[in-house]
Amino acid sequence: MRKKVLLAILGLFFASAMFSKDYIVSTKHTSLIFKAEKGEKSIFQYYGSKIDNISDVYNAGLNMNMETYPAFGLNNKLEKVVAITQPDGNMSLDLVVDSIEQINDKNGSKTVIILKDKIYPVEIKQFFRTYTNTDVISTWVEICNNGKKPITLYQFASAYLPVYRGENWINHMHGTWAAEHFMEEEMLTNGQKVISNKYGLDNTKTDNPSFMISLDGKLNEKTGSVIGGTLAWTGNYKIKLNANNQNVTVTAGINEENSHYILEGKQTFVTPEFAMTYSNSGKGGVSREFHKWARNYKLHQGNRLHEILLNSWEGVYFKVNQQEMNNMMEAFSAMGGELFVMDDGWFGNKYPRNNAQSSLGDWEVCKEKLPEGIEGLLESAKKNHIKFGIWIEPEMSNTKSELFEKHPDWIMRISNRDLTTGRGQTQVVLDLTNPEVQNFVFGIVDKLMTEFPQIYYMKWDDNSCLMDYGSSYLPKDRQSHLYIEYQRGLENVLKRIRAKYPNLIMQACAGGGGRITYGILPYFDEFWTSDNTDAIQRIYMQWSISNYYPAIAMASHVSATKNHQTGRIVPIKFRFDVAMSGRLGMEIQPKDMTDAEKEFSKRAIKAYKSIRPVVQLGDLYRLVSPYDNKGLASLMYVTPEKDRSVIFVYKISHLIDMKLPYIKLDGLDENKLYRIKDLTPNNEKSPCRLNSKVISGKTLMEQGLNVKNLLKNQYGSLALELNIIQ
């Protein structure tokens, strides 16, 4: 007996010795493991479900045995994430572990692998951060030139993640203006899959730096092992998935094309954060972790409920005037609205802003259009018991503007070439690498807020990519820094704004959905999802975006019929039911609405106010995907306590006597009973047959709801609330 005990003790001792150089970074349900021994390479071993005993990874053969941050120059057959040129022309790095630091704070833990080159004074700090009460782990690096002479960075990724090679499928998004963020899912074949953008500014108009990858077959909403990743950078990005028969490696970071960076002695280059999460509960599990992380750590005021607003753009476009703004506020307030936002067209005197061809940069109230000024609008808002917001596009100018005439050197351009212009054939980009320009852009917000502190909300737009690659501020030998330094300049401005105006609500817009990233969102409360407000198309876009971004940040507006972008004619109930699944707003001219539409809007707005905490702060469960072509789409939100839920159902195709699936709910308490309420009946005296019905959570999740007879007509829709019966 003693012999067995002794052998067991020795076994534990040797196991401890074997794994003494292994480090574990864990959240509640996930673990990341790497091996790091001084003077040796740091080795990535595992990422997946939580591990309590590191030896399990080795005994089960789950260890990956790949470097955590492979450098170019030695053994170059494998994918590399960092490449530099040393002062003597040497293009290699040979990184080994110098030390490990592990720190805990109120927001989670931070683990730092400090890597040093064996010969040159280059140090790389690789960070892994956990976030309390989420299963998100983020990573980034700091590249330190500890020498006296400059080095040149040619690759500088934020993350390198080996993934098990099985039947891998990927989820990502692609699109264009007014059709942003359409979901793509495909099997990952051997070779390379690259998700990238190099627009410079509006970098999610075509792609988004977010993805999911399955480890065990086609991506499923509720089941399967899935890794999700997103890069917190609003500039050019590149995510590369390299697959072969043995493994998949994921590289994510700044797109280094045309951006080699000269790092002076004693300087440090910090890469953007890459966030990842792992779930055994399919895509839905990944989404819910990202949403929780976003609300608690990455959105400005991410847990503050958002107001219902009316934006003036589709109501009047550039034809802003005092009386029209007053009328819109009065009408919206009567419907229960809470916030009015005056969009483009309110500024410029020498060059009044009557179209997209002039005035950007001249941020003074147009006296011709608004003789009572902002003061008059604020007074009208106060009279109508509504808050007031305003539109700006502070990073831009027009060649027809006083700003351009006074400061042509502030424009991004190449000195010996013709100037490229964008929207309206006159729009140009300000050079935010220049501190003077940064001061000017900050001053736009600061002046408005100083003079009119009652302004509650600002819509910050950007209707251009970075067109001409040239800066009169950056030195000639630093022009390749432009893409990166622009983003740093923008970040400096936004940090100053947030330091002085922490309670100002701000929306990130870039010609629609061109700036939906966690690089920009720490300074913004929400984003404009798309300039396309068509309810049918929004179902597809909002579904895709919900994979990575929470409902509280997703501006979703009810617009006119027929729709201004597609010409589609859709009932107002359908339009509201779609918009209520995000941050509800309106993009409409109230005077063009019928009395019946206004009355319905009043009831729908009241209903949304009652469910706002569930939608904006609840857990999302996607039930039936519009991309599966089953004739309908459905999603739901559930409180963490599982006592309340809101379900949305949309009929997206229409055939007589067509087949429709049962809607199987999720996230409820199977042992409780729920009472159903029809939130948006066409006639409040005649709600749908499900109204007031009591059904068990078990039946709702296992058998579902039969909605076929409730969606008989084209564009049929439902918005249902479930409340637990105590």
The pLDDT tens digits of the residues spanning 483-535 come to: 999 999 999 999 999 999 999 999 999 999 999 999 999 999 999 999 999 99
User: Residue written as tokens 């400061």?
Assistant: 407
What's the confidence (pLDDT) of residue 77?
82
Radius of gyration of the chain (CA): 27
CATH topology for 2-298 is Beta-galactosidase; Chain A, domain 5 (2.70.98)
- Please name the helix (run of DSSP H) or strand (run of DSSP E) that holds residue 434, with its range, or none: none
The pLDDT tens digits of the residues spanning 93-133 come to: 999 999 999 999 989 999 999 999 999 999 999 999 999 99
Among candidate residues 268, 20, 247, 35, the one with its CA nearest the CA of residue 140: 268
What's the confidence (pLDDT) of residue 162?
97
What's the confidence (pLDDT) of residue 395?
98
**Calpha distance 281→134 (Å, rounded):** 15
**Calpha distance 74→76 (Å, rounded):** 5
Residues forming a β-bridge with 705: 663
- Please name the helix (run of DSSP H) or strand (run of DSSP E) that holds residue 269, with its range, or none: strand 268-270
The mean pLDDT of the chain is 96
Among candidate residues 443, 575, 540, the one with its CA nearest the CA of residue 496: 443
**Residue 86 neighbours by CB distance under 10 Å:** 21
User: Is 309-615 a domain of CATH 3.40.640.10?
Assistant: no
The pLDDT tens digits of the residues spanning 416-452 come to: 999 999 999 999 999 999 999 999 999 999 999 999 9
Dihedral of alpha carbons 469, 474, 478, 482, sign: negative
Architecture of domain 621-725: Sandwich (2.60)
The CA distances from residue 464 to 342, 407, 429, 527, 681, in Å, are 21, 19, 7, 16, 42
At 20, the pLDDT band (50, 70, 90 cuts) reads low
Domain boundaries, the chain: 2-298, 309-615, 621-725
Quick one: tokens of 81? 């994430």
Report the 3 state secondary structure along 98-140.
EEEEEEEECCEEEEEEEEEECCCCEEEEEEEEECCCCCEEEEE
Quick one: tokens of 454? 């009652």
At 17, the pLDDT band (50, 70, 90 cuts) reads very low
The pLDDT tens digits of the residues spanning 36-78 come to: 999 999 999 999 999 999 999 999 999 999 999 999 999 878 8
**Calpha distance 72→83 (Å, rounded):** 5
The pLDDT tens digits of the residues spanning 571-620 come to: 999 999 999 999 999 999 999 999 999 999 999 999 999 999 999 999 99
**Residue 126 neighbours by CB distance under 10 Å:** 24
First to last CA, the chain: 56
The CA distances from residue 200 to 196, 255, 422, 435, 467, in Å, are 11, 10, 14, 19, 8
